[in-house]
Structure 1
């Protein structure tokens, strides 16, 4: 199992609009294609104005197949266009992680 942590730094003046757009246009598409969502968060202390979501995949190949399939979905393409037009995302960081042998999440 691998986990992907995606961290988006959002323009603070556009955070509410971005969350509303994601909820209405992207959340269902991502959960349909990507599968197991571990959590979806926003930061309050430390580095603020960030949204973090964590996804679980069986393998790197599983991730590649799932993301490629999602990239072909018209609903995802529509969200991507609206996301670019909103111009709220200032930075994206994606980290792939493997659990230790003693991690509760395997």
Structure 2
């Protein structure tokens, strides 16, 4: 298993707007194509302009196949265009993580 750890930095004071748009239009599509969401988090302490979400995949090939299917969906492309027009996102970063042999999440 691998985990795609994503961190999005949103324009200050606009996190709620970004989350609302994602919840309505982005998340249903990602849930359909990407499969196993391990968590979706907003800050309580620390930086208040970032959100984090984690997605589990069998391996890198599984991740690539699922993300390719997502990007091929016209509704995903429309969502990305809407997000761009809303101009809420400043940066996005992701890391691919592998669990240790003693990790409680298989």
Shorter-chain-normalised TM-score: which range?
Answer: over 0.9
Distance (Å, rounded) in 2 between the aligned partners of 1:97 and 1:30 = 19
Shift of 1:17: 1.5
| Worse-superposed segment, 44-53 or 89-98 | 44-53
Give the corresponding residue for 1:26.
Answer: 26
Distance (Å, rounded) in 2 between the aligned partners of 1:11 and 1:18 = 9
- CA deviation vs aligned residue, 1:43-82 (integer Å, no higher than 9, x gap): 1212221110000000000000100110011111111000
1:7 to 1:83, Cα distance in 2 relative to 1, 3 A = same
The 5 A counterparts of 1:34-73 are: 34-73=34-73
Give the corresponding residue for 2:17.
Answer: 17
Q: Which runs of 5+ in 2 are unaligned?
A: none
Give the corresponding residue for 2:91.
Answer: 91
How many correspondences in the alignment? 106
Say what the alpha-carbon RMSD is for the aligned residues: 0.9
| Worse-superposed segment, 13-22 or 88-97 | 13-22
